[in-house]
């Protein structure tokens, strides 16, 4: 029999001593060379704790029991020197956020070379040659080795992290949510790359994700986790097509699907609430004598009808978020016209614009970054109410918290005390405080697990019906956009290349780019 590349037996991790939280409760599995194990589950299920434990990165505060064997080496009993050789050489890890994992002051090629030299007695020239070799292997041109992390796109940064891991030729690659923030085409290329590397090198892959579509595309076996336990484990086809556990079926039922019909909504009408004409936004960069102009939004024209949800999809860099910020006047257009409720927003002075802003609100992608960590969530919701002259802002804020499914008794809690889904609900409550007519949602469910995602989407649909809201929903997830949208605008390189009813776009796409996006979207079912 083949010796497993990784063997885990009865792994238990507890934080906070005997009275603390048990993050892992006896997890066991084997991972064979060249095989891929997908670990899925909701936030708090223990997925990331499991991934970190494999390299003993769970922190000194954790109490760990069980056994982790990597090529015969007992990870939990390894000395400091053995652990240093094991990390990277035997097991390498690719983290969810590549920007925070790369040194912003060092060129990407130099960072990879430095890691290689730390494990091998080689010259700087040999290390740089190795860095170039692995960057080429993951599809990054040689000339980009001298670029800094901020000069790479999200997909390229993730590839650079994979290249850094590959430089040491690990037997096991642990990838923790490596595709969460990537659009579907970049995501597809990254997953294909991981599959190619497994076939070429015999490397084993442990892929942590909340996205069943991603796991279906890359994993041979699936481990479903809940509350620190493995509730189901088996071949990918069996788990995806015929799950034995009710919890797995519940997760799969919550996954948005491209072939699902959109929800019926009664509020959509023909009245045009917002009209956008030839909207353009340019960004100029570079030294004075070598100025470069990026047309982030390039001549976009569309309308938004009262009560509808207009979905906006496209790859990273297509101009989606730039467009979203211009719609609520957080970013000034270079040229073009935005008309809201019959008023030209570009012609309004500051006082009149302030009054209109009540009707135009935004829900941001990252609720952590958009909430003040030093203020309670209740105060963050109450602040706009005070500005608007609400007589009882605290009571109104508590009512809003209850309206979006939060406990009003947690008015005095801080953002870090809430889960990701709860923080997104706080962001929605704050956006609803001025009683807007149009809500722009910029990637509001991107980093949420499927059940939390389903809850937030259901909340938005309910609020739209009850409050007569109009939504512009920006996302790179085509299945999510299919679920919530009446019409869909597809963006590419700053332009809208297709705009039609959602059913028409998904059933009979006209533009080749739309077809490419749909074909690249991961499907939560076995390939067979």
pLDDT at 101: 83
pLDDT at 1: 58
User: How many CB atoms neighbour CB 244 within 10 A?
Assistant: 11
- How many residues in total does the chain contain? 528
pLDDT at 523: 74
Q: How confident is the model at residue 286 (pLDDT cuts 50, 70, 90)?
A: low
pLDDT mean over 110-114: 94
CA atoms of 338 and 153, how far apart (whole Å): 29
| Per-residue DSSP letter, 243 | -
In the predicted structure, residue 141 carries a pLDDT above the cut 60: yes
Q: How confident is the model at residue 193 (pLDDT cuts 50, 70, 90)?
A: confident
In the predicted structure, residue 267 carries a pLDDT above the cut 70: no
pTM, rounded to two decimals: 0.79
Strand partners, 63: 14
pLDDT 10s digits, 32-51? 999 999 999 887 788 888 99
- Distance between first and last Cα of the chain: 27
Q: How confident is the model at residue 31 (pLDDT cuts 50, 70, 90)?
A: very high
**CATH number of this structure's domain 255-359+436-528, picked from the four choices 3.40.50.300, 2.60.40.1080, 2.60.200.20, 3.40.50.1100:** 3.40.50.300
pLDDT at 18: 65
Q: What percent of the chain has pLDDT over 90?
A: 44
In the predicted structure, residue 181 carries a pLDDT above the cut 70: no
CA atoms of 142 and 128, how far apart (whole Å): 11
pLDDT mean over 194-223: 90
Q: How confident is the model at residue 283 (pLDDT cuts 50, 70, 90)?
A: confident
3-state secondary structure of 187: helix
- pLDDT, the chain, mean: 87
Torsion sign across C-alpha atoms 40, 45, 48, 49 = negative
CA atoms of 506 and 483, how far apart (whole Å): 11
pLDDT at 444: 86
Tokens of 32: 């064979």
Q: Where are the domains of the chain?
A: 99-169, 255-359+436-528, 376-434
pLDDT at 351: 84
CA atoms of 65 and 48, how far apart (whole Å): 17
pLDDT mean over 140-160: 83
pLDDT 10s digits, 224-235? 999 999 999 999
pLDDT at 71: 80
Spacing of C-alpha 114 from chain mean position: 29
pLDDT 10s digits, 384-418? 899 888 889 999 999 999 988 889 999 999 988 88
In the predicted structure, residue 419 carries a pLDDT above the cut 90: no
pLDDT at 124: 93
pLDDT at 266: 61
In the predicted structure, residue 292 carries a pLDDT above the cut 70: yes
């Amino acid at each position: 029999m083949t010796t497993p590349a990784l063997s885990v037996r009865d792994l238990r991790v507890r934080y906070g001593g005997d009275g603390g939280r048990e993050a892992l409760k006896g997890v066991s599995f084997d991972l064979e060379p060249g095989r891929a194990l997908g670990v899925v589950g909701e936030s708090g299920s223990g997925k990331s704790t499991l991934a970190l434990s494999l390299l003993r990165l769970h922190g000194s505060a954790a109490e760990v029991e069980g056994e982790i064997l990597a090529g015969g080496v007992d990870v939990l009993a390894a000395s400091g020197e053995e652990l240093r050789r094991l990390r990277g050489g035997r097991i390498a890890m690719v983290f969810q956020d590549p920007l925070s994992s790369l040194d912003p002051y060092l060129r990407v090629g130099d960072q990879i070379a430095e890691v290689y030299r730390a494990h091998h007695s080689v010259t700087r020239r040999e290390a740089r040659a190795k860095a170039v070799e692995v960057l080429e292997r993951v599809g990054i041109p040689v000339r980009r080795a001298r670029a800094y992390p901020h000069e790479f796109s999200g997909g390229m940064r993730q590839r650079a992290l994979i290249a850094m891991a590959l430089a040491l030729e690990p037997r096991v690659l642990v990838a923790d949510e490596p595709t969460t923030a990537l659009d579907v085409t970049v995501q597809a290329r990254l997953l294909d790359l991981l599959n190619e590397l497994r076939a070429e090198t015999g490397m084993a892959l442990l892929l942590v994700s909340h996205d069943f579509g991603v796991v279906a595309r890359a994993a041979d076996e699936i481990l479903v986790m809940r509350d620190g336990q493995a509730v189901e484990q088996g071949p990918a086809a069996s788990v995806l097509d015929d799950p034995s556990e009710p919890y797995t079926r519940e997760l799969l039922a919550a996954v948005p699907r491209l072939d699902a019909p959109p929800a019926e909504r009664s509020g959509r009408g023909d009245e045009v609430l917002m009209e956008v004409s030839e909207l353009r936004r340019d960004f100029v960069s570079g030294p004075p004598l070598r100025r470069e102009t990026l047309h982030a939004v390039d001549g976009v024209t569309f309308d938004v009808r009262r009560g509808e949800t207009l979905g906006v999809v496209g790859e990273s860099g297509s101009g989606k978020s730039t467009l979203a910020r211009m719609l609520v006047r957080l970013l000034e257009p270079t040229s073009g016209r935005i008309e809201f409720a019959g008023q030209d927003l570009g012609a309004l002075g500051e006082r009149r614009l302030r009054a209109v802003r009540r009707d135009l609100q935004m829900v941001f992608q990252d609720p952590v970054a958009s909430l003040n960590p030093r203020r309670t969530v209740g105060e963050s919701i109450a602040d706009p109410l005070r500005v608007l002259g609400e007589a009882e802002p605290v009571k109104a804020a508590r009512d809003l918290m209850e309206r979006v499914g939060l406990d009003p008794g947690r008015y005095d809690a801080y953002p870090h005390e809430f889960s990701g889904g709860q923080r997104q609900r706080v962001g929605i409550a704050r956006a609803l405080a001025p009683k807007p007519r149009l809500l722009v949602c910029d990637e509001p469910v991107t980093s949420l697990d499927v059940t939390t995602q389903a809850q937030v989407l259901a909340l938005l649909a309910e609020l739209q019906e009850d409050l007569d809201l109009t939504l512009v929903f920006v996302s790179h997830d085509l299945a999510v956009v299919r679920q919530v949208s009446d019409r869909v605008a597809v963006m590419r390189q700053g332009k809208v290349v297709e705009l039609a009813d959602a059913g028409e776009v998904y059933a009979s796409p006209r533009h080749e780019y739309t077809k490419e996006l749909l074909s690249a979207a991961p499907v939560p079912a076995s390939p067979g």
